[in-house]
């Protein structure tokens, strides 16, 4: 247990460093971008606003102070739990992220599950029938998908299923006139179908190809050969022996892919007008909304880090060899 505590504290230190670096980098990038938040905020109203008023806006947002001072002020507030006020949404950053992420969570969770389950199944099949036409089809499919940009895939799906066939809704998280609270489960799911399919597509290819490799290895391992020598069928070996061994890498990979899931949701949400965190990120970028961008950068750092940490922990708890190995090494 002592080893576990040390392991966790090492992780936490690393997380703290990561958060500091990520926020500094994000701040430097935004502060040096040519976007002027006040101009972005005013837009066409520019001609109706006097110079004094513009000054007032800059002061409300604290833009009149030099950049390092602004960062330190932000960091001080962030440490006490206050992430500041979003310029674009005129709301506390934490509230914006919480609201938007609950919407995104539906999308990301369903995409994550879909890609995990389908990807794993395809990988197992391809590995089991290595070299067959089925394997070749699955590989072709996976390579094609791996090379497909998310947004393009989204547009194709949209054009086919929503515009031409009319089976799925065109946009948004709920039907027009129905709020999130009023929407039935089916309404929500039907609005999730296409974006989730789009988003899961990258994940499927990755999981499938990795699982396939592991499956081929497992089928050629000593224990598999031994089982087959005793008269066990290929499918039997796969189900009873190989599956458990290849599940772990797949699960790890799945948790480690949260970063790609986050990035992919920005594109998918844009295509489907899905009002989640991805769209808020784009808006924050366009409007030069520094507090919101920093908040999202922090949040996504935590999100991805958590994914990777879970993958590590799973390995440790599911595969005793790693724990024993770590103890022997220390």
Binding site for other proteins (CB under 8 A): 34-36, 39, 41-54, 56-57, 59-61, 88-91, 99, 162-163, 166, 170-174, 176-177, 179-180, 273, 275-276, 279-280, 283
Q: Which is nearer to other proteins, 58 or 256 (CB)?
A: 58
Q: How far is the CB of 302 from other proteins (least distance, A)?
A: 23
Q: Which is nearer to other proteins, 64 or 244 (CB)?
A: 64
* Closest to 112 (Cα-Cα) out of 243, 259, 248, 214: 259
Q: Which is nearer to other proteins, 238 or 292 (CB)?
A: 292
For residue 128, the tally of other CB atoms under 10 A from its CB is: 21
Q: Which is nearer to other proteins, 18 or 171 (CB)?
A: 171
Q: How far is the CB of 192 from other proteins (least distance, A)?
A: 14
Q: How far is the CB of 60 from other proteins (least distance, A)?
A: 3
Q: How far is the CB of 234 from other proteins (least distance, A)?
A: 45
Q: Which is nearer to other proteins, 117 or 170 (CB)?
A: 170
Q: How far is the CB of 183 from other proteins (least distance, A)?
A: 10
Q: Which is nearer to other proteins, 27 or 61 (CB)?
A: 61
**SS3 letters for the chain?**
CHHHHHHHHHHHHHHHHHHHHHHHHHHHHHHHCCCCHHHHHHHHHHHHCCHHHHHHHHHHCCCCCCHHHHHHHHHHHHHCCCCCEECCCCEEHHHHHHHHHHHHHHHHHHHHHHHHHHHHHHHHHHHHCCCCHHHHHHHHHHHHHHCCCHHHHHHHHHHHHHHHCCCCCCCCCCCCCCCCCCCCHHHHHHHHHHHHHHHHHHHHHHHHHHHHHHHHHHHCCHHHHHHHHCCCCHHHHHHHHHHHHHHHHHHHHHHHCHHHHHHHHHHHHHHCCCCCHHHHHHHHHHHCCHHHHHHHHHHHHHHHHHHHHHHHHHHHHHCHHHHHHHHHHC
3-class DSSP state for residue 85? strand
Q: How far is the CB of 288 from other proteins (least distance, A)?
A: 10
Q: How far is the CB of 36 from other proteins (least distance, A)?
A: 8
Q: Which is nearer to other proteins, 99 or 234 (CB)?
A: 99
Q: How far is the CB of 48 from other proteins (least distance, A)?
A: 5
Angle at 195 between CA 310 and CA 213, to 5 degrees: 50
């Amino acid at each position: 247990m002592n080893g576990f505590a040390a392991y966790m504290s090492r992780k936490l230190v690393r997380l703290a460093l990561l958060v500091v670096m990520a926020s500094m980098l994000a701040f430097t990038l935004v502060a040096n971008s040519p976007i002027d938040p006040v101009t972005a905020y005013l837009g066409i109203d520019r001609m109706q606003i006097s110079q004094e008023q513009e000054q007032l806006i800059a002061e409300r947002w604290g833009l009149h102070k030099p950049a390092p001072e602004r960062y330190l002020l932000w960091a001080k507030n962030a440490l006490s739990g206050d992430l500041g006020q979003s310029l674009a949404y005129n709301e506390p950053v934490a509230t914006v992220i919480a609201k938007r992420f609950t919407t995104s969570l539906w999308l990301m969770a369903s995409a994550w599950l879909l890609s995990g389950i389908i990807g794993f199944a395809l990988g197992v099949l391809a590995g089991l029938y290595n070299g067959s036409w089925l394997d070749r089809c699955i590989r072709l499919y996976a390579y094609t998908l791996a090379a497909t940009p998310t947004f393009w895939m989204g547009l194709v799906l949209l054009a086919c299923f929503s515009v031409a066939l009319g089976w799925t809704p065109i946009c948004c998280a709920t039907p027009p006139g129905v709020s999130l609270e009023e929407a039935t489960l089916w309404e929500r799911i039907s609005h999730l179908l296409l974006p989730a399919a789009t988003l899961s597509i990258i994940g499927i290819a990755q999981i499938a190809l990795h699982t396939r490799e592991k499956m081929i290895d497992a089928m050629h391992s000593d224990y598999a050969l031994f089982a087959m020598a005793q008269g066990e069928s290929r499918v039997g070996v796969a189900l009873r022996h190989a599956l458990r061994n290849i599940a772990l890498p797949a699960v790890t990979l799945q948790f480690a892919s949260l970063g790609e899931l986050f990035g992919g949701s920005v594109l998918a949400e844009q295509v489907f007008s899905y009002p989640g965190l991805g769209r808020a990120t784009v808006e924050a970028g366009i409007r030069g909304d520094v507090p919101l961008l920093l908040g999202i950068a922090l949040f996504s750092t935590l999100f991805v880090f958590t994914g990777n940490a879970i993958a590590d922990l799973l390995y440790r708890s599911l595969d005793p060899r790693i724990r024993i190995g770590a103890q022997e090494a220390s």
